[in-house]
Amino acid sequence: MSVRIGIIGGTGVYDPNILENIRDEQIETEYGLTRVKIGEYKGKAIAFMARHGEDHSVPPHLVNYRANIAGLQKLGVKSIFATAAVGSLNSAMEPENFVFVDQFLDFTKVRKNTFFEGGEKGVVHLDMTEPYCPELRKTLTQAAHTLGLTAHSTGTYVCAEGPRFETPAEIRMYRQLGGDLVGMTSVPEVVLAREAQMCYATICMVTNFAAGISPNKLTHQEVVDVMSKNVINLRSLIMAAIDNLDENRTCLCHRSPADLSAVGD
């Protein structure tokens, strides 16, 4: 059975009671080794990847994003649902809300963010007008409505380098630039997925208001507590979306990067 659907996220998303016939697999790529769990859900093969490692030991700026996406590509994955815990800059996006972001602002600094570094693969200037797959986002929005979950169908994700939290001054800047949420993982993951001809959507779970907005100092435990409280809804949302997804569908996201690139000067 070919694997067409992938989930990238924290270990809280994975539940052995959801998938059947689970096996662990190591995938060797030119960017390094990556690990996945592969199982079945209602006849569909699903690959689950713990972005930070199963013991959450890899900080966001050191995740091997290229190996992870290349590994899923080798499996044949064409649609990726990625989860992310985020802080909110937007008063309408409250803790425990879900947001299916449609844009990002990239403030990362040290990450390998492309498969195309010249040489044999050439130079590609990838169009990112719609970085997050509109079809997957629509599927998620419909699933959230069916489940009665509070969800926002659009939003701008600010990707910070981490692993530290942001300063109130940074948050003020992000808000002035149009950011709604802040996190540390969506970039370069979303870019690499598009380069690899995959549909990609980020499911953001708001865990707190960001620094300078929240009345309290930020802690990692606060994030963990809200994730734990809301993880059942998150799992239900993902599985409902997968249930409604035609795994063999075609999409503009599947076009070759060369077809999506612009000529640079």
265 versus 218: the higher-pLDDT residue is 218
Cis amide prior to 134 (ω within 30 degrees) = no
Alpha-helical segments (H) within the chain: 65-75, 134-147, 168-176, 186-195, 220-243, 257-260
**Across residues 171-197, what is the average pLDDT?**
97
**Across residues 87-94, what is the average pLDDT?**
96
118 versus 149: the higher-pLDDT residue is 149
In sequence order, what are the beta bridge partners of 24? Answer: 37
Instruction: Compute how many other C-beta atoms are within 10 angstroms of the C-beta atom of residue 58.
Output: 13
User: Does residue 264 register a pLDDT over 50?
Assistant: no
pTM of the model: 0.92
**Across residues 213-223, what is the average pLDDT?**
70
Q: 65-75 and 186-195 are packed helices; what angle lies between their axes, rounded to 10 degrees? A: 40
Quick one: the chain helix, strand, coil %, rounded to 5?
A: 30, 30, 40
* Token pair belonging to 223: 């994030």
Q: Provide the pLDDT for residue 19.
A: 86
Strand 156-160 and strand 181-183: pairing? Answer: parallel
In sequence order, what are the beta bridge partners of 7? Answer: 48, 81
Q: Provide the pLDDT for residue 258.
A: 67
User: Does residue 232 register a pLDDT over 80?
Assistant: yes
Handedness of CA 86, 187, 193, 141 (dihedral sign): positive
**Which residue is listed with tokens 């990847």?**
49
Question: Distance between CA 87 and CA 17 in Å, rounded?
Answer: 29
DSSP states of 28-60: EETTEEEEEEEEEETTEEEEEEETTTTTT-S-G
Q: Provide the pLDDT for residue 256.
A: 81
161 versus 57: the higher-pLDDT residue is 161
Cis amide prior to 95 (ω within 30 degrees) = no
Question: Distance between CA 33 and CA 37 in Å, rounded?
Answer: 14
User: pLDDT tens for residues 91-107?
Assistant: 999 999 999 999 999 99
State whether residue 81 is helix, strand or coil: strand
**Across residues 34-54, what is the average pLDDT?**
92
Residue ranges and CATH numbers for the domains of the chain are: 5-247 (3.40.50.1580)
User: Does residue 113 register a pLDDT over 80?
Assistant: yes
User: pLDDT tens for residues 1-42?
Assistant: 689 999 998 655 666 567 889 999 999 999 999 999 999 999
H or E element at residue 10: none
Residue 56's pLDDT band (cuts 50, 70, 90):
confident
Average of per-residue pLDDT values in the chain: 90
10 versus 265: the higher-pLDDT residue is 10
User: Does residue 74 register a pLDDT over 50?
Assistant: yes
User: pLDDT tens for residues 126-179?
Assistant: 999 999 999 999 999 999 999 999 999 999 999 999 999 999 999 999 999 999
